[in-house]
A and B are shown apart, each in its own frame.
Chain A
Amino acid sequence: MSATDLSAQANGEPVAEVRPRSRARIERLRDFGIAGVLLILFIALTLSSDVFLTSTNLKNVAEQAVAVGLLATAGSLVIIAGGFDLSAGAIFAVSAIVGSKLANSTGVVEGYLVGILIGAALGLVNGIICTVGRINHFVGTLATSIVFFGLATKISGGALIVVPNQSFADLANTQILGFKSSTLIFVAFALLCGFILNFTVLGRYIFATGGNLTAARLSGVPTAVTQAFTYVLSGTAAGLAGLIVASRTLSVNAQTGNGIIYNALAAILIGGNSVLGGEGAIWRTVCGVLILALIANGFNLLGIDPLYQQIVTGLIILLAVGLDAWTRRART
C-alpha cells in the first residue's frame, strides 16, 4: 500500500457544463441528415439523367413506393409503440391471394373488402399474441409470418392466380387529378398515420407505451390495447398494399410479398426512427421510403448493374442506424 495523496484542482473555467445547445444542434443534424440524403439523391439524379425530372418518371417512382410505403408507415406506429411486426409481408401475400380469388369467384368489391379485413384480422392475431400472450414481438411475428406464408401457399394451391376481370385494376390504376389512385391512397394513409400520432389520444398512448411501458401502465394507459391497435393497423395496411399490387398486376402467387417487409423495415430505420420505440415520426419513414425508391429508380435510369443496388441499400441502412446510435450516445 503506497502513499495516496490526491488533489484535484480546476481553476477559473467551468469544468462540466450542461449542453442543451449542442444537444439541440445534434437533434437538428439528425433531422437534416435524412432530409439531406434525400435532397442530395434528388439533385444527383436530376443532374445525371434527363429522364429523372419528368412528371412521368416521378409519378412512376411514387407509384413504385406505394406498397413499401404502406407497410412502412403503419410499421412505424408498431415500432414507436414498442412492438415489431415482421409478418406484414406475409399478411400482404394472404390478402392479395384471398382478394384475387374472391374477385374471381364472388366479385371485385367483395375481394377488396375481405382482403383488407383479413389483413386486419391477422394483425389482431399478432396483437393478441404479443400482448396477452406476452411473447416477444420479434419471435411472435417471425413465427406468425411463417404461418401466414404457409396459409398463402395453401390458399393459392401453390399456383399463380390471374384475375381476368379488368375492373379489379381500378383500386390501383384509377386516374384522379392526374395521379394514380394507389399513390393517393398511400398519401392519405401516411397523413392518417401522422395525424393519429401527433393529434390524438391514441398517438400519445403509442409514444407512452413504447417509451416506458411501466410508466405508461401506471399512468392508466391501456398499453395492451394500444399495441394491439398498431398491429391491427399494420395488418390492415399490409392487406391494402397486397390488394393494390394484385390490382396493379392482376396476377399474384404466394411469393408476391417476398422481401417486401425488409424494404419496409429498412425504410423505417433509414428515416431515423429508433428500433427501441417511444420516438419517431411518419415523415421520417416517408423520407426513408423515398430514398429507397430513388435509389431503385436511379439504378434503373442510369442502367447500372442491379447487383450494386443491394450493396448500396445495405450500406445506407448501416449509415442511418449508425447515425441513430451515435446521436443517442451523445444525448445521455
Chain B
Amino acid sequence: MRGVSLEIRRGEIHALVGENGAGKSTLAKIVAGVHLPSAGSVSVDGREVRYRSPRQALADGIAMIDQELALLPARSVIDNVFLHSENSKAGLLRRRQMRERFAALVERTGFELDPDRTVGSLRVAEQQKVEIMRALARTARLIVMDEPTAPLTPVEAESLYAVMRSLRDEGVTIVFVSHFLSEVLALSDVVTVMRDGSRVRTSPAAEETPGSLVEGMLGRSLDSTFPARPESVRAEPRLEVRGLCGTGRFEDVSFSVHAGEIVGLAGLIGSGRTEVARAIFGADRVDDGEILLDGEPVSPRSPRQAISRGIALLPESRKEQGLLMRRSIVENIMLPHLDDVSSGGIVRSARERREVVEAMERLSVRAAGPRASVDTLSGGNQQKVLFGKWLIRPPRVMIVDEPTRGVDVGAKRAIYELIDELTASGTAVLLISSDLEEVLGMAHRVLVMRRGRLAAEFSNEGAERTAVLAAAFGTEGRG
C-alpha cells in the first residue's frame, strides 16, 4: 500500500472496495492499530496518533471486527462481551452490574442473545453480534469491519445492515470492507475505491453504480461477470442421485447432472447442500439411496474411492480443507494423482514437474515457480492451484462448494471460465453457492434445498431471484 490519504467523518458508514490485494484490509488494519504504517500519519479527532497495538486504538474508541472472529469459544456470551471491560471491585467481578449493562446493550442493539450460552455453540451470525456488542461495551466510536456479511445468509445480512444503520444514527462511525457491491451501495454513505495499494477515489455512494465501482477497481470495465452459457449439454446423465438419505442431515434427495452441464445447488447455509456433496464424495456416510455414475451404481465409502471413480470435490474452505498451505504448488496439485506419475511408489519428479508447469501456464498462476510454497501466493492464485488439482485430469463429476467466496471480481470471472473449461471437456458440474447471482448466472438448472430436502427446481430461463429465494426460505420467505 502506498501514499493513501483518506478522511473518515464521524457518524458515516464508509465502505472500502477493491480487488483482493488492493490494500483495503491493510488500510482498515492500520486504522484499527493492527498494522503500523511504515510512513505517513494517522490522526484521530485532529490529534496525530501512532498506535502500536489494537489496544491503544481501542482506548481511543476504535474497534476492529475481523473476518476471523476473535472470541473465546468456550466462554459465555456475557464473558465475551465484557472481556477487558469487566465491572469489578477489588478484583472481584460485579455480576449484577454486568447483567444490567448487558440488558442495556440488548436494548440498544436489538440482539436477543442468551448471556449464558457458550459462544462456541452459537452460529456465525450470532457470534458476530457478540463481537459488535463487545465493541460497543468498550465504548467504541469507530468500528472497522472486514467482510462482515461474507459468512451470513441474506436474511442475517439484512438484519446486520439494520444494526449498522442504527449505530450510525447514534453517531458511531463504521468502516467496512466488502466484496458485495450492491450491499456497499445500499448501505454506505461514502465509498473509497482502492486499486493496487492506492486510493482511486472517495465519493458519496449515491454517485456510484455497480458498474462505476467495478471500473474503478479494475481500471477497466468488465463486460459481463459471467461467461455466456454454452448450450452443448449432452443427453446422457452423468451423475444420478436417487432417494439419497443421510440421517439428520438430508432426506430423499434425487437429481441428475448431465455431462457438460452445470447444476446449481442453492439454499441457505445449513440446508444440507454441503452435506449432500460430502455424501456423494464419500466423505460422510450415506444411510439410504443410490448414486449412479454413467448409469452404474457407485457407493464411495471414502474420498479416495470417489476420486478413483472420477468424482472430485472442491471444498468450500481453501485453507482448512483444500490446500497444504506450507507445501509446494507441485505437491498440492499432484496429491490426488501421484499414482499416475510414480512407478514402484517412487515419484518421477521430472514428469510431475512438467505437468504442473504446464498446468500453471494454462491457469496463469503467478508464483516464483512450481516449488513455491502455497502460502506465498495470493488468495486468487491459491484458488487457481486448488482448481489445478482437478483440471489436469478432468473428473467425470466435479462438485464445487462456494468456489468464489472471498474472491474479488476479477478473479471470480477467471474461476467461472475454469468451470466452463471443465464442462467443455464433458465434466458434469454441481455448483453449490450462497451467491444467487452466481448460481443464476452459471447454472443450466438450479436446485434449491431447504431443511435437508430438495424444495424446488428451476431451469435457467425460468429462474427468478425472488422465486429461488422464496423456495429457499419456504412459503413465508421474503427476498
Contact = CB atoms under 8 A, between A and B. Distances in A.
A278 B346 CA distance: 20
Contacts of B1: 10, 14-16
Contacts of A12: 2-3, 39
B379 to A, nearest CB: 13
Given A199-B346, A200-B347, A278-B324, A11 B39 contact: yes
Specify which of B302, B335, B336 lies most central, judged by the most chain A CB atoms within 10 Å of its CB. B335
A6 B41 CA distance: 11
Interface in A179-212: 199-205, 207-208, 211-212
B38 A9 contact: no
Interface in A5-30: 5-17, 20, 23
Q: How large is the interface on A (under 10, 10 to 19, 20 to 34, 35 or more residues)?
A: 35 or more
A7 B43 contact: yes
Interface of B: 1-11, 23, 26-27, 30-31, 35, 37-46, 61-62, 141-142, 170-173, 197, 281, 283, 302-304, 306-308, 313, 315, 320-327, 331, 334-336, 338-339, 342, 345-347, 349, 368, 375-376, 389
B325 A212 contact: yes
Contact of B37 (A15, A20, A217): A15
A162 interface: no
A316 to B, nearest CB: 25
A207 B327 contact: yes
Specify which of A4, A199, A202 lies most central, judged by the most chain B CB atoms within 10 Å of its CB. A4
B326 A279 contact: yes
B4 A8 contact: yes
A191 B339 CA distance: 23
B304 A221 contact: yes
Interface in A198-237: 199-205, 207-208, 211-212, 214-222
Given A9-B5, A20-B368, A200-B347, A15 B40 contact: yes
Contacts of B171: 1
A185 to B, nearest CB: 23
A9 B41 contact: yes
Interface in A210-268: 211-212, 214-222
B324 A7 contact: no
Specify which of A10, A208, A219, A331 lies most central, judged by the most chain B CB atoms within 10 Å of its CB. A219
A216 B324 contact: yes
B353 to A, nearest CB: 14
A64 to B, nearest CB: 33
B347 A219 contact: no
A315 interface: no
A2 B141 CA distance: 8
A132 interface: no
A13 B335 contact: no
Contacts of A202: 345
A104 to B, nearest CB: 39
Given A218-B283, A220-B336, A221-B304, A11 B327 contact: no
Contact of B142 (A4, A216, A219, A278): A4
A116 B26 CA distance: 57
A10 B173 contact: no
Given A4-B173, A10-B1, A222-B304, 4 more contacts: A3-B10, A207-B327, A212-B325, A218-B283
Specify which of B197, B321, B331 lies most central, judged by the most chain A CB atoms within 10 Å of its CB. B321
